[in-house]
Structure 1
Amino acid sequence: MASDSAGRASPPTDRVVRVLDFLAAHPRDRFGLSELARRVGLSKPTCLGIVTSLAEAGYLVRDPVDKTYRLGPSLITLGHRAQEALRVSPAAREQLRRLSARFRATVALSGVVGDRITVLDLVAPPGAHPGVEVGQSYPFAPPVGLMFVLWDDEATREWLARRPTIPLRTDSARLRRVIARCRTDGYLVERLTPAGRRLYALMAGMSADLPDELRALLGELVSDIGERVYLRDENGAGPFDISVISAPVFDHYGRQVMVASMHVGTTLTDDEISERADAVVATADAVTGQLGGVKPQ
């Protein structure tokens, strides 16, 4: 009996992906054939065949004078189609733009794509350097991803059952308090800590299957699910260093499909947190409405 080929890798396709990923990581640079082949670890003839086909399709542009390659316009259309497939519309982006302008903050829509959390759209204030970009992804496994499962008991259980990316201890009583409070409030607020910043910097783009040494290092940074969650009236008088404020977006079945987030990265009072959280919830609700979604009671 022939074996099922589903899931098998395609080395020729992998080579194409390597070329595109490399150029995407250097969007302002141009590369000649020799340098590009060397940088992605391909022979010149193999690399030439790939870039020629990609250039003919418009996914790359070849400069006729210096014979260098860069990303092409067909990728713009492809990216827009991908965003539409993931339910990110121009109307949703307008909601992000308004929220960003009101608070001069970076705001984003993210979703779980496969087994990774992926940034689907992002708006930043003029001149800002948000530190994240559209398409950036993180493993969807504890402790990363709490905001994507808070509003659904089954989703929470499934997420907690995933192999954690780092060694964890779970304070079940506190986690229950976090879930109950966030469901009541309609949003999640994460505290800004040096450990949290290092965690997300290290996790960006990584697989959930981390080397043991790195898992141990990350375990020193964050060791309890929900330990960075801000709960009003629990954390003293403040003010507080706040990292991210998030609220859920739902589809027409009442299932969470995305998260709207405001990246704060500064100190806020309780009242300032509430003001921004209410605005994030309003944005998430507006995107839910644009999707024809239903917010669960």
Structure 2
Amino acid sequence: MSEPPAPGRASPPTDRVVRVLDFLARHPQERFGVSELARRVDLTKPTCLGIVTSLRDAGYLVRDPADKTYRLGPSLITLGHKAQESMRVSPAAREQLRRLSTRFGATAALSAVVDDRITLLDLVAPVGARPGVEVGQSYPFAPPVGLMFVLWDDEAVRDWLAMEPTVPLHPSRTDPDRLHRVIRRCRADGYLVERLTPGGRRLYSLMAGMSSTLPDELRALLGELVSDIGERVYLPDEKPGRKRHDISVISAPVFDHYGRQVMVASMHIGKALTDNEIRERAKALIGTADAVTAQLGGARPTSWPHTVGKGPDRDH
């Protein structure tokens, strides 16, 4: 009798099943026969046939009886919903995202740090829109990516800054004074706004799904795209003469009953907005984040501003 795998040891048979499911998840609109699927995931045909047969029997795949091709099955829907529930994303939270998305014609999302990765937990996009990201997509969580998940807590900021950067950040290109100014302003306002920069446009698309250990070539490229940790953050007092600002995303924190941040509610903009338009969307987003916090039985930390929408430079 063979010994069971030691804790932490990879299981090659399981890895093969994961490869099949991951491949089909990347091609949700397509169907594949056993021969092609085996070739695409680098498995022998008998091994692939055994895997897809078991997955079909469990409802995780569907087999077309006419052309004998396979696609994702209905049991994965239930599994996905259960996974969302385990992350405390409820239908009520999704309804909050839907309202926000409908009001502004923008994609609204909830995300969290799961196992040291930023993971998209839920997303609602306008009808016909292609948001470019998918629920379950994840990114490495380390500077300069992830400021919105830590800036509400001093200890979390220190721990995050102590991580090995996802991309090389040269000391001469990192401004700690500006980062502190960003943190103070975001805490006063209750939200964070990221500008739509050339580097920001490519950063997340390049990093999506990658491990924390990026290839040296990609790390170097991303290092050129990102000048410092706070460079993409919009601060209204920095460019007072500009009437419109290219905005990427607006984010606000969701808290648990200990007053700890557990999620981020965000609205993906992708266009130029005036200061008033930014504030209008940010105020609505804070309302969404507060509603999700209440659904979790959570509460803002005691240091949180007592009046929503009354930060510096706000319209009262």
Q: TM-score range by the shorter chain?
A: over 0.9
Alignment correspondent of 2:235: 231
Q: Whole-Å Cα distance in 1 between the matches of residues 227 and 43 of structure 2?
A: 41
Offset, 1:217: 1.0
Q: Give deviations 1:216-249, integer Å, cap 9, x for gaps.
A: 1111110200111011212222210000000000
Q: Give deviations 1:28-67, integer Å, cap 9, x for gaps.
A: 1111110010000000111111111100000001111211
Q: Whole-Å Cα distance in 2 between the matches of residues 13 and 155 of structure 1?
A: 35
The count of residues paired between Structure 1 and Structure 2 equals: 295
Alignment correspondent of 2:164: 163
Task: Map 1:119-198 to 2 at 5 A.
Answer: 119-168=120-169, 169=171, 170-198=174-202
Alignment correspondent of 1:102: 103
Q: Does 1:241 align with 2:246?
A: yes
Alignment correspondent of 1:285: 290
Moved over 3 A (4+): none
Alignment correspondent of 2:307: none
Alignment correspondent of 1:52: 53
Alignment correspondent of 1:86: 87
Alignment correspondent of 1:211: 215
- What secondary structure, in the 3-state scheme, does the structure 2 residue paired with 1:295 have? coil
Q: Whole-Å Cα distance in 1 between the matches of residues 116 and 73 of structure 2?
A: 29
Identity, in percent, stands at 80
Q: Whole-Å Cα distance in 1 between the matches of residues 195 and 204 of structure 2?
A: 13
Q: Whole-Å Cα distance in 1 between the matches of residues 208 and 6 of structure 2?
A: 30
Alignment correspondent of 2:255: 250
- What secondary structure, in the 3-state scheme, does the structure 1 residue paired with 2:252 have? strand
- What secondary structure, in the 3-state scheme, does the structure 2 residue paired with 1:31 have? coil
Q: Whole-Å Cα distance in 2 between the matches of residues 60 and 291 of structure 1?
A: 34
Unaligned runs of 5+ in 1: none
CA RMSD of aligned residues (A): 1.2
Offset, 1:133: 0.9
For the Cα contact (< 8 Å) 1:167–1:223, is it kept in 2?
no
Q: Give deviations 1:136-165, integer Å, cap 9, x for gaps.
A: 111001101000001011111111111111
Q: Whole-Å Cα distance in 2 between the matches of residues 194 and 90 of structure 1?
A: 35
For the Cα contact (< 8 Å) 1:110–1:259, is it kept in 2?
yes
Q: Could you tell me which amino acid in structure 2 is paired with residue 225 of structure 1?
A: I
Q: Whole-Å Cα distance in 2 between the matches of residues 67 and 109 of structure 1?
A: 38
- What secondary structure, in the 3-state scheme, does the structure 1 residue paired with 2:202 have? helix
Q: Whole-Å Cα distance in 1 between the matches of residues 143 and 8 of structure 2?
A: 25
Q: Whole-Å Cα distance in 2 between the matches of residues 229 and 42 of structure 1?
A: 46
Q: Whole-Å Cα distance in 2 between the matches of residues 220 and 236 of structure 1?
A: 28
Alignment correspondent of 1:37: 38
Alignment correspondent of 1:5: 6
Unaligned runs of 5+ in 2: 303-316
Alignment correspondent of 1:294: 299
Offset, 1:172: 1.1
Q: Whole-Å Cα distance in 1 between the matches of residues 65 and 282 of structure 2?
A: 51
Offset, 1:93: 0.2
Offset, 1:7: 1.8
- What secondary structure, in the 3-state scheme, does the structure 1 residue paired with 2:238 have? coil
